[in-house]
Amino acid sequence: AALLEMTRGIMAWFGARWTEAAERCEAAGAILGERCLGAHWEQTIAASFQLGGLAMRGDLPRLLETLEGSIRAAEARGDDFAADNVRMTEPVLAWLAVDRPEEAERQFALGSVRLEGGSGAWPEVAFRTQHYHQLVARVLIALYRERPDEALGALDDAWPQLKGAGFLRLSVIGVELRQLRARAALASGEPAQRKVAREEARRIGRDPAPCSAPWAALLEAALAASEGRKAEAEARLRSAIAGFE
Q: Per residue in 54-101, pLDDT tens?
A: 999 999 999 999 999 999 999 998 998 899 889 888 999 999 999 999
**16-52 residue pLDDT tens:** 999 999 999 999 999 999 999 889 999 999 999 999 9
pLDDT at 124: 58
SS (H, E, C) the chain: CHHHHHHHHHHHHHCCCHHHHHHHHHHHHHHHHHHCCCCHHHHHHHHHHHHHHHHHHCCHHHHHHHHHHHHHHHHHCCCHHHHHHHHCCHHHHHHHHCCCHHHHHHHHHHHHCCCCCCCCCCCCCCCCHHHHHHHHHHHHHHHHCCCHHHHHHHHHHHHHHHHHHCHHHCCCHHHHHHHHHHHHHHHHCCHHHHHHHHHHHHHHHHCCCCCHHHHHHHHHHHHHHHCCCHHHHHHHHHHHHHHHC
Mean pLDDT of the chain: 92
**What would the pLDDT profile of 98-156 be if each residue is shown by its tens digit?**
999 999 999 999 887 666 654 455 555 678 888 899 999 999 999 999 999 999 999 99
The answer, yes or no, to whether residue 171 has pLDDT greater than 90, is no
pLDDT of residue 153: 96
Reported pTM: 0.91
pLDDT at 37: 86
Q: What is the pLDDT of residue 121?
A: 54
Residue 201 has pLDDT above 90, yes or no: yes
Query: What is the pLDDT, as a whole number, of residue 117?
Result: 59
User: Has residue 207 got a pLDDT over 90?
Assistant: yes
Check pLDDT > 70 for residue 1.
yes
